[in-house]
Amino acid sequence: MIYSLIGNYSLILGLITGLILFYLSFKNFQNPKLLNSQILSFTFFQLFFVLVSFICLILSFVVSDFSNETVFNNSHTTKPLFYKISGTWGNHEGSLLLWLLVLTLFIYIFLLKTKNQSVKYKILTLVFQQIIIVGFFVFLIKTSNPFNYLFPIPAEGLGLNPILQDPALAIHPPILYLGYVGSSIIFSSVLAASCLKIVNSSWAIHIKKWILTSWIFLTLGILLGSIWAYYELGWGGFWFWDPVENVSLMPWIALTTLLHCILVLERKSILTSWVVILSIATFTLSMCGTFLVRSGILNSVHTFANDPERGLFILIFLFILIFLSLCIFFFFHKDENKKFQSFFWLSKETSILINNWFMMYFLSVVLIGTVYPIFLDVITSEKISVGPPFYHKLMLPFLIPFLLMMAIGPRLKWIKSKLDNKIYLISLLSISILFSFLILNFFNQKILINTVLISSGLYLFFITLRDFFISKNKNLSQNFAHFGFSLLILSILFNNLFSSEIITNLKVGETFENGDTKIIFKSINQKKEKNYNSIIANFKIQNSNGKKDEFFPELRIYNQPVIATSEADIKTTIMQDKFIVINLVQNQDFFNVRYQVKPLMVWIWLSVLLIASGGLISFLKKRL
């Protein structure tokens, strides 16, 4: 109980510190010769109070303090220590406290590390960031306090959702939040720069490292979530266009587009309006994701809360932030470089702009597919589900020119370019089409769109691979990111085209044969763990080539809450994953068995790591 008291008072002190920072910022802004040391001190105190509050919540989980309502709702004495700690942010209240911790951490680091910018700019950035921070303080204390007291004190807690008791999901939210919350610094910074009319090359160089930081963490956070969904939920896939998957993808698309615009702004004072709009859009999409998840509007395995009051608060807060940012954009931001905005049609700037249009199109498709069912439900009370076919039909045709532009664009020069002596571009395109045709013909896949898609992916793959060995002016960060993206697209295409699946119901001792695959259900065993009982099945799977594999998928029945989960057994090689998962058939002696062969699965994960490493190389480049 003592931890809850300290944590609650720390939150209140953090809010008071935020209000003091407003006063000091306005006072210092009138005489901005030197950043007041009091501002740095109070920013540190604010971070300290939130950190104390967060540590107190962790300790409340560790000691199973069920006088704390959040601990009671999300923990249990039999839960392993690791999941007691990760359970701190595996719920609505704790995850918002983690969000607040990252918000305060980022603004403190921003003030410490920003050396070559004006004091007015730093103070204004602090003011806009404090608007967000104070808003989250009020939201947390008023509607989502993680330190609410329960009396009488329960003897036992309700436990954490078993599907959240997983190592990947334990580290997925903190990394994802570092990406989400990083966009808040970009948002606050661009509003400050717009007010002071300094959205220029110097500012772009300064803010680029924050964009890269946010982009790297968001990329890794999405990757971890995808890996978790693949092996934990038993779906057997890496992406299902689940609404909450989409709300993490949308800020990533906006952030990627912004990163490319910043590359142009670094060299030439153009696309300033694009940069401002994308900075605002990235943070707005992050906040929209928070609203949709926390309000309970979205029905997803990821959602934590179902409270209209919380949703209404975030909606009003989001509206205020959007209104404030749009007012600043229209009244303060003036594109003073319009006369320099026209550039040659064949240049790197043009290619980046065209790819930005494609990215905005992809973003629009994801946004409509995510939000349209919500509006339809509100207006007509008709519930629909927008699934993968919607996204595939609208995105795949536009992915082809997008990949071609990604391949050709980096070869162009800034300002003005020529394609003289670029025979290799045509040669590699011809080779890509030939390879694609031969691959698909070998596997009897003769659909034209597949041929063109794989050709485009191979074209980007070959050109970026060539750059590692032949290009004189190597841009390693770009090469890694684009090569990783080409590998990702090819891995996804081949995975979708050549995956196979067998679904059947079997009793212990039965055998199923289908073509080249023989599945033998050998036995089941039971095992008792601290917080669950496990049923472990033993399967032998034999292929036509004589190769035999043994699998041990599990069914786990957790004691608190009483929920059954399926644990897949996956055998991973460099070329494919073999994936098997079982479920009980209700009121029957049968087990439902799903066996899948997923080609190039490991390359999907590795390609995303390559993409993120491109951002990391760019971040470290100047320091190295």
Q: DSSP secondary structure string, 33-63?
A: TS--HHHHHHHHHHHHHHHHHHHHHHHHHHT
**Confidence check: pLDDT of 388 > 80:** yes
Percent of the chain with pLDDT over 70: 92
pLDDT of res. 288: 81
pLDDT at 305 over 60: no
Q: How many CB atoms are located within 10 Å of the residue 513 CB?
A: 11
Q: Cα separation of 429 and 330, whole Å? A: 45
What pLDDT, on a 0 to 100 scale, did the predictor assign at position 294?
Answer: 60
pLDDT of 153-188, one tens digit each?
Answer: 888 888 877 777 788 778 888 898 899 888 999 999
298, 248 Cβ separation under 8 angstroms: no
Residue 597 CB partners (closer than 8 Å, separation 6+): 499, 500, 501, 576, 577, 578, 579
Give mean pLDDT, residues 56-78. 91
Residue 308 confidence class, pLDDT cut points 50, 70, 90: low
Q: What single letter denotes the amino acid at residue 522?
A: K
457-485 pLDDT, tens digit each: 999 999 999 888 876 667 889 999 999 99
The dihedral through the CA atoms of 449, 452, 455, 461 has a sign that is negative
Q: Average pLDDT, stretch 486-504? A: 92
**Per-chain mean pLDDT for the chain:** 87
522 near 540, Cβ under 8 Å? yes
Rounded Cα gap, residues 184 and 164, in angstroms = 27
Token pair recorded at residue 77: 């004495």
Residue 622 banded pLDDT, cuts 50, 70, 90: low
Which residue type is seen at 235?
W
Give the count of alpha carbons within 13 A of 104, CB side only. 31
Element counts in the chain: helices (H) and strands (E): 17, 10
pLDDT of residue 307: 61
Q: What percent of the chain has pLDDT over 90?
A: 48
From the list 499, 522, 526, the residue with the least C-alpha distance to 512 is 522
Its pTM stands at 0.91
pLDDT value, residue 314? 79
Percent helix, strand, coil in the chain, to 5, is: 65, 10, 25
Are 285 and 251 a contacting pair, CB within 8 Å?
yes
Alpha helices (H) in 268-335, listed in sequence order: 272-294, 308-331
Per-residue pLDDT, averaged over 411-416, amounts to 77
CB count in 10 Å sphere of residue 527: 11
Q: Determine the Cα–Cα distance for residues 483 and 455; give it in Å rounded to an integer.
A: 15
Helices (H), 470-600: 476-498
Confidence at residue 235, expressed as pLDDT on a 0 to 100 scale: 67
Give the pLDDT confidence of 213-235 residue by residue, as tens digits. Answer: 999 999 999 999 899 888 877 66
Give the pLDDT mean for 6-26.
94
The answer to whether the beta carbons of residues 167 and 266 sit under 8 Å apart is no
Chain length of the chain: 624
In sequence order, what DSSP letters do the residues of 82-102 get, joined into one string?
HHHHHTTSSSHHHHHHHHHHH
At 251 the three-state DSSP class reads: helix
- Residue 334's pLDDT is 67
User: Do residues 176 and 237 lie in contact, with contact meaning Cβ atoms separated by under 8 Å?
Assistant: no
Residues 419-443, mean pLDDT to the nearest whole number: 83
Would residue 509 be called left, alpha or beta, if left means φ above 0 and alpha means ψ between -120 and 50 degrees?
Answer: left
**CB 283, CB 191: distance < 8 Å:** no
Q: Which residues pair with 524 in a beta bridge?
A: 537
Residue 582 in contact with residue 553, Cβ under 8 Å?
A: yes
List the beta strands (DSSP E) in 219-291: none
